[in-house]
Structure 1
Amino acid sequence: MFDSAEIGHRIDRATYKAEVPALRAALLDAQYELLRRADRAVVVLINGVDGAGRSETVNTLNAWMDPRHIRTEAFDAMTPEERRWPEMWRFWQVLPPKGRIAMLFGSWYTDPILARVMGDDDADRFAHRLERIRQFERMLVAEGVVLVKFWFHLSKKAARRRLKDLAADPRTAWRIGPREREHLKHYDEFIEASDEALRKTSLGEAPWIVIEGSDVCYRELTAGRHLLSVLQHTAKPAPPTPPLPPSVIETGTDDVTLLRAQDYSRRLPRERYDRLLERWQGRLNLLSRDARLRERSLVVVFEGMDAAGKGSTIRRITQALDARFYRVVPVAAPNENERAQPYLWRFWRYIPPHGRAVIFDRSWYGRVLVERVEGFCSEADWMRAYGEINAYEEELAEAGVIIVKFWLAITPEEQLRRFRERETTPHKQFKITPEDWRNREKWPAYERAVQDMVDRTSTRVAPWHIVASDDKLWSRIEVLRTLCQQVEAALQRQPRKHGV
């Protein structure tokens, strides 16, 4: 990947000065056109060899454009504090909304490459992290993010000379410390790992642009020209999505579905319910204070048909927990800010650090449920979402997140009874809306979507637990029991640590 970036590319100063004014004007025009359209976001990754001019190029690009609409963030290897969250959590926090640009000095490539060079990751772990990056970038591109990946390169000889020159100049000596000197000692290993990373992640939709960094004029003009080309290209309509093959899961001819196959007859008498509630709430409270949970976090997902009892079940869970331990996140239709981001963005914001829990009242599964049934996204969007959701949950699990997912299932007859009860009970009337009645008319479509969702996203690391909930007392105890058992089982397993 680096051969052509070690041959001494140069642009004379006169050519640079002559071209910059027009380039700056064109970049500004393209930036404001992007801002006006607000149909895509642009993320510029700045990676490369120490001393190759990465920070200078970032400063130049910010100066050539309007920095008020550019978010610039710097990333290095993960800190102990950042390791309390999944690896990609910190990058999701800085993704720009549509119409904006983000420049990431260092990126999701920095930690994997450094971990490989320093011996913290073996070859298999490195390959796994690169595959995770490929999945992540494909998802971003499909969600309307334009990725520009710059690698600024220096040969070993040029890197040594560059660091020596920086160290000798009092104005720049502060930039050369033990870290940079240590990296130079590992130059060959660094280039080997970087070459593998670039080769395996230079996708058609997100290719790497390798720029020789020894000549400032060449470096800045090349980066500016390429960024301009990308911004101008975003003004063109996106290519049409190719048609998808038929869904792999076909509807049977016997009318038996996953939800209809549940046993809705199970009941609990009130007296037994009260005893079991105290038992399982006490067990959950003890688990929440288990010392092993300080190195883990908990995500509980509730989905279900309207009036299935999600809210009342969540209340029985939170009654057993210290309020400092958990957060409940009710999920509604995305607002304007959330629609300007990839659909998983709003859920990444709530992923808890180690030692904490989040309970989602509805979740990222809206993409393959309500958005699918109501036509709020294309078939291509919800079809690819199954794989994206599985990758998301696998990443959470690898970072030590315990994921427990519940689908609360009720029959159409029981839903109708609860709807009518809500309409006639004053303190429950806020729970029933015209949209609930409208959704009920689409029961068969939702039933099919639920079956596809469970079949495609019930995985080893995050299986679905379907709970028949016609009797709320029985279903609440079943949820508490299952949650305790899942947390206990997960605490017996040692999670993979970042970089191990």
Structure 2
Amino acid sequence: MLDKVMMERKEVRKDYDERLAHLEIRMGELQRQCRSMGIPIVIVFEGFSASGKGTMIGRMIRPLDPRGFQVFTMEKETKEDKRHPYLWRYATKMPAKGRIHIFDHSWYQGFPDILQADEICRYEKQFTDDGVVLIKFFLAITKKEQKKRLNHLAGSEDTSWRVKEKDWKNNENYDKCFSQFDTMLVQTDTANAPWTIVEAMDKKFAVDKILTTIVNGLEQAVEKNQKKGNPETDSKSEDTDAYLQNSVLKGVDLTLSLTPEEYKKKKKDLQKRMEKLHNQMYLQRVPVVLAFEGWDAGGKGGAIKRITQCMDARGYEVVPIASPNDIEKAHHYLWRFWNHFPKDGHMAIFDRTWYGRVLVERVEGFATEEEWKRAYQEINDMEAHLVKSGTIVLKFWMHIDKDEQEKRFKQRMETPEKQWKITDEDWRNRDKWD
């Protein structure tokens, strides 16, 4: 893509000032419209060193209400970032509905050593499928212009701090950078998240192209939102239901049991091992995610309690997942889970999980059929990234039959110290067992 770009393009329209004023007014209008419609916007800036990313970001935000946007400078990883999966620092910064988040450098810093092109494309598709407007800019300049700008920055006391050793190396290795950037652009230029290459030799030309692209993108998003009807919330999929009922869960042997003596001994031995493993996990900086799902009264809470009894409470977090609050609802459904994924050496234990998207949200109709069907791939991609980053992910389905659930419900109702565990919603959910 870069080899087809006319780097030296500098032509500026004669009515530039008038046109710019119109674009700025329109951007302010579109920001307000997107906010009222709940449209989240992500704008990514990548490019050669000294291509003007910071300058362009500063120019594009002028007409925007500062209460509605946030700029993230992502070039340098913090110590906390390095202790989490690579995408953690980006996934936790994705915008709520109606907000604009601007990234000065982005997940593309991980290409190709950490993230492959197909991983990036699927990651971006998660958000665009969910209604995020993703606008990506790549600022291009020549090697000669880059060196000129670096010399200018380095020659001023006010800006010399901005020039690092790697910037000079990037100029020396311009052709190599050019080739890698070109590969990145070609492989991640998709219909849902296309690249806009900005010929950034001339500031006015670059500003015009960037503002025009943003205005066009937001106008299309507003028009699409206005035409959007009520999505189908039919959550029934007979083929999937039949598969689950006739293969996976039907094959579980619910007659397996231990005697009280066997259970007591096994629990004692395993808790001792767990204590040692928890210490080793911390010393070797291995992050662990335990995910518990299952029927109401399936024993998730009891299992979690027995696991944590033998561990140092400073090294784990139990994350009970209930209905999302207003802030969580305003984000992509996986956002609230990314915020709880552990740093290295720590453990996160989820009492219910991201699988709610294809379970309760599907059954109750909170997610459309299109949403819960694509969630399977989104969940697989997220878990694959966790594992690739070194996280141990263990998932447990706590299975009981309908008769056992009723028995446990009644026991809870008859036991004063357990009555808090049973609610009207539990009985209502039971009616939807099948």
TM-score, normalising length from structure 1?
A: 0.81
Q: State the secondary structure of the residue aligned to 1:324.
A: helix
| Counterpart for residue 213 of structure 2 | 226
- 1-structure distance, mates of 2:372, 2:34: 26
> 1:101 aligned to 2:88?
no
| Counterpart for residue 200 of structure 1 | 187
Q: State the secondary structure of the residue aligned to 1:419.
A: helix
| Counterpart for residue 402 of structure 1 | 392
Q: State the secondary structure of the residue aligned to 2:311.
A: coil
Q: Note the C-alpha offset of 1:82.
A: 2.2
1:379 to 345, 369, 380: 369
- 2-structure distance, mates of 1:175, 1:14: 34
Q: Which amino acid aligns with 1:149?
A: K
| Counterpart for residue 460 of structure 1 | none
- 2-structure distance, mates of 1:386, 1:291: 29
Aligned residues of 2:10 and 2:205 also touching (Cα < 8 A)? yes
Q: Note the C-alpha offset of 1:170.
A: 4.5
| Counterpart for residue 264 of structure 1 | 254
| Counterpart for residue 463 of structure 1 | none
Matched length: 429
- 2-structure distance, mates of 1:157, 1:328: 55
Aligned residues of 2:27 and 2:215 also touching (Cα < 8 A)? yes
Q: State the secondary structure of the residue aligned to 1:235.
A: helix
Q: Which amino acid aligns with 1:110?
A: Q
> 1:60 aligned to 2:51?
no
CA RMSD of aligned residues (A): 2.3
Q: Note the C-alpha offset of 1:292.
A: 7.0
1:135 to 96, 103, 122: 122
| Counterpart for residue 361 of structure 1 | 351
| Counterpart for residue 186 of structure 1 | 173
- 2-structure distance, mates of 1:298, 1:250: 31
Q: Note the C-alpha offset of 1:282.
A: 0.5
2:424 to 425, 430, 434: 434
Deviations 1:322-349 (A, max 9, x none): 0001000000111111111111100000
Q: State the secondary structure of the residue aligned to 2:223.
A: coil
Aligned residues of 2:7 and 2:201 also touching (Cα < 8 A)? no
| Counterpart for residue 274 of structure 1 | 264
Q: Note the C-alpha offset of 1:10.
A: 2.0
- 1-structure distance, mates of 2:385, 2:110: 15
Output aligned runs, 1:15-34, within 5 Å.
15-34=15-34
Deviations 1:214-245 (A, max 9, x none): 1110111110111111122221235688999x
Q: Note the C-alpha offset of 1:210.
A: 0.2
| Counterpart for residue 308 of structure 2 | 318
- 1-structure distance, mates of 2:137, 2:101: 13
- 2-structure distance, mates of 1:194, 1:98: 31
With 290-299 and 154-163 compared, the bigger mean Cα shift is at: 290-299
Q: State the secondary structure of the residue aligned to 2:191.
A: coil
- 2-structure distance, mates of 1:327, 1:291: 14
Q: Which amino acid aligns with 1:177?
A: K
Q: Which amino acid aligns with 2:100?
A: I
Q: Note the C-alpha offset of 1:77.
A: 5.1
- 1-structure distance, mates of 2:306, 2:282: 23
| Counterpart for residue 342 of structure 1 | 332
Aligned residues of 2:41 and 2:133 also touching (Cα < 8 A)? yes
Aligned residues of 1:151 and 1:211 also touching (Cα < 8 A)? yes
Aligned residues of 1:77 and 1:111 also touching (Cα < 8 A)? no
Q: State the secondary structure of the residue aligned to 1:289.
A: helix
| Counterpart for residue 42 of structure 2 | 43
- 2-structure distance, mates of 1:170, 1:337: 43
- 2-structure distance, mates of 1:282, 1:438: 40
Q: Which amino acid aligns with 2:337?
A: F
2:155 to 159, 168, 173: 168
| Counterpart for residue 342 of structure 2 | 352
- 2-structure distance, mates of 1:81, 1:55: 24
2:242 to 251, 261, 280: 251
Aligned residues of 1:43 and 1:96 also touching (Cα < 8 A)? yes
Deviations 1:364-404 (A, max 9, x none): 00011111111111111111111111111110011110011
Question: Relative to 1, partners in 2 of residues 1:192 and 1:302: Cα closer, same or farther, differing over 3 Å?
Answer: same
1:330 to 315, 320, 323: 320
> Which residues of structure 1 form unaligned runs of 5+?
445-500
Aligned residues of 1:6 and 1:154 also touching (Cα < 8 A)? no
> Which residues of structure 2 form unaligned runs of 5+?
none
Aligned residues of 1:293 and 1:354 also touching (Cα < 8 A)? no
| Counterpart for residue 2 of structure 2 | 2
> 1:148 aligned to 2:139?
no
Aligned residues of 1:46 and 1:149 also touching (Cα < 8 A)? yes
| Counterpart for residue 111 of structure 1 | 110
Aligned residues of 2:137 and 2:196 also touching (Cα < 8 A)? yes
1:237 to 224, 244, 255: 224
Q: Note the C-alpha offset of 1:161.
A: 2.3
- 2-structure distance, mates of 1:412, 1:390: 29
With 174-183 and 98-107 compared, the bigger mean Cα shift is at: 174-183
Q: Note the C-alpha offset of 1:180.
A: 1.2
Question: Relative to 1, partners in 2 of residues 1:313 and 1:65: Cα closer, same or farther, differing over 3 Å?
Answer: same
TM-score, normalising length from structure 2?
A: 0.93
Q: Note the C-alpha offset of 1:13.
A: 8.4
